[in-house]
Amino acid sequence: MMRRMMCGMMAALMGLAMSAPAAAAVVAGTLEAVSPETRELTVRVGKQQVRTTFKLAPTAEITLQGKKADLNQLQAGQLVTVTTSTQGNLATKIAARIPAEPAAEKPDKTETADKPDKAEKPARSAPAKSRNRKDLAEEPTQVAPGDWPQFRGPTRDLHSAETGLLTEWPPQGPELLWKVDGLGEGYSSVSIAGETIYTMGTIGDDEHLFALSKADGSRRWTVRTGANRPDGTGNGPRSTPTVDGEFVYALGAHGDLVCAHADSGEIVWRMNVVKEARGDVPTWGICESVLIDGDKLICTPGGSAATMVALNKRTGKPLWATTVDGRPAAAYSSPIVIEAGGVRQYVNFVHTGVVGIRASDGKPLWMRSESANGTANCSSPLYADGHVFTASAYGTGGALFRLASSGGQTRAELVFETKQMKNHHGGMLLLDGHVYGFDEGVLTCLNLSTGRPAWQNRSVGKGSLAYADGHLYLRSEEGPLALAEATPRAYVEKGRFSQPERSGRPAWAHPVVAGGRLYIRDQDKLFVFNVKN
């Protein structure tokens, strides 16, 4: 039986966040008035709507919707984040955004008795087709076309919304728009928000978070996030930054977590989540890319004090922390958010299995070990229609679980196991009732209703993938890339080329398709290809 972390652990975690010394506070609220003449603005802050007036510093930076702006562009009603000087009321940075249209309020289903999903199927059944997860994630900010703000894309499912892309590649591959080097060692992929690309890398003895211009790859800023973690399989960070509005979050291989201003790199807060959870860094380093869900930052450090934690994304202060039975160590996977049977929950691998944690309060709901191995569980879970599919390598394979909720509890029932999706760290995606991923070195299309392959093909060999506009973008860890139709009928390849200037390390960073471009990170270098038709 899984148990929730004792209240005393919360007290231990209260020291998690350390504010950056450069700023006295970061205040968020609604702009009430602005005076260009006196360079003052009034903001209503908090639930009590306390009116606070700030005077702008002569060199204050102002952005609107992530772009540089003038004071006269700020208007009442905009949502603003104000960074103050050490004097407390002198604003050094203003980040404003236009609020989205309010959605109709819905009752918080996690606060009431859970009801069975109307679409529940018998225990031995499986979903006939996948459902888009965009309706499941509480996006704190709108994702603009062309953005890829986090690991595995806008909804963490490796799906790009891009259309009008090339349906066939020329023999030499798509046009190389630009490349940039100087990003250091590591297996971080890229996140994209607005006109900026974010990634991580190790230079010398330190890990860094980089911000690059989407136009040409020129560096906008870089900031140290932690110490390098030497590793025989390759130094450097493994995770990908998460961008949320005015902030970007980065987690290093040692467990160093930072929140920085997306436009400047100025650190807002930082902590080491592994130390605070009283855990150990796993063999190949922390690989998780943190999840932002509403006001919560979710990560899974593993350890005696916390299997999973929810932090206030603006301050780093703990909202809840939870442990599961056995207090397992961290795995190498990144969490997803789902809503099953009226219960919103976070699902992720730990060292001993896959867990579901209630979003509202951190209560452990379920745990299954069939798809876990004793070495490294790396692939993020997949979710569709009340079912979770997870898989790992090292001879284990995958398993499908049906989630059933009743009386405030959720149980996970095994539907099937399969040895034909031994997915390592290249990830899997779900499309029209089929799972696409690499079963060791063989690309596999798995029918989720039966657990049997629709087809298998050696394709580019073991690697990673993404989906866009009816096609799979495939990247071999040896370097070659291919385009193939995303169909259960057969493997149909539409082009292949070799990445130029390959490093001597495996190509483990996942491909990204956004804004009509294909982004390929290989250690020190980033390549950007034009895949627009």
My answer on whether 87 and 145 are in the same domain is no
Residue 238 within any structural domain of the chain = yes
pLDDT score at 3: 44
Cβ distance 345 to 337 under 8 Å?
yes
Domain boundary among 44, 73, 97: 97
pLDDT score at 37: 72
All residues at 6 or more sequence positions from 103 whose CB lies less than 8 Å from its CB, including other chains: none
DSSP secondary structure, 422-439, as one string: ---SS-EEEETTEEEEEE
The pLDDT tens digits for 178-229 are 999 999 999 999 999 999 999 999 999 999 999 999 999 999 999 999 998 8
My answer on whether 62 and 138 are in the same domain is no
My answer on whether 456 and 376 are in the same domain is yes
My answer on whether 161 and 298 are in the same domain is yes
The pLDDT tens digits for 276-299 are 999 888 889 999 999 999 999 999
Domain boundary among 71, 97, 123: 97
pTM, entire model: 0.77
Computed from CA positions of residues 222, 224, 226, 232, in that sequence, does the dihedral angle turn out positive or negative?
Answer: positive
Q: If 0-12 CB within 10 Å is exposed, 13-18 middle and 19+ buried, where does residue 11 land?
A: exposed
My answer on whether 68 and 154 are in the same domain is no
With vertex at residue 131, the alpha carbon angle to CA 129 and CA 135, rounded to the nearest 5 degrees, is 175
Whether 46 shows a pLDDT value over 80: the answer reads no
pLDDT score at 366: 97
Residue 13 within any structural domain of the chain = no
Domain boundary among 97, 115, 146: 97
Which domain range does residue 79 map to?
A: 18-97
CATH of the domain at 86: 2.40.50.320
Cβ distance 260 to 268 under 8 Å?
yes
My answer on whether 325 and 233 are in the same domain is yes
Instruction: Tell me the C-alpha distance between 17 and 364, whole Å.
Output: 24
Confidence of residue 22 (pLDDT cuts 50, 70, 90): very low
φ, ψ of residue 73 in degrees (nearest 5):
-85, -10
pLDDT score at 66: 61
The pLDDT tens digits for 388-427 are 999 999 999 999 999 998 777 899 999 999 999 999 999 9
Instruction: Tell me the C-alpha distance between 203 and 208, whole Å.
Output: 7
My answer on whether 162 and 213 are in the same domain is yes
The pLDDT tens digits for 218-274 are 999 999 999 988 777 778 899 999 999 999 999 999 999 999 999 999 999 999 999
Whether 99 shows a pLDDT value over 50: the answer reads yes
Domain count, the chain: 2
Q: In one letter, which amino acid is 197?
A: I
Instruction: Tell me the C-alpha distance between 147 and 419, whole Å.
Output: 35
Residue 450 within any structural domain of the chain = yes
Residue 145 within any structural domain of the chain = yes
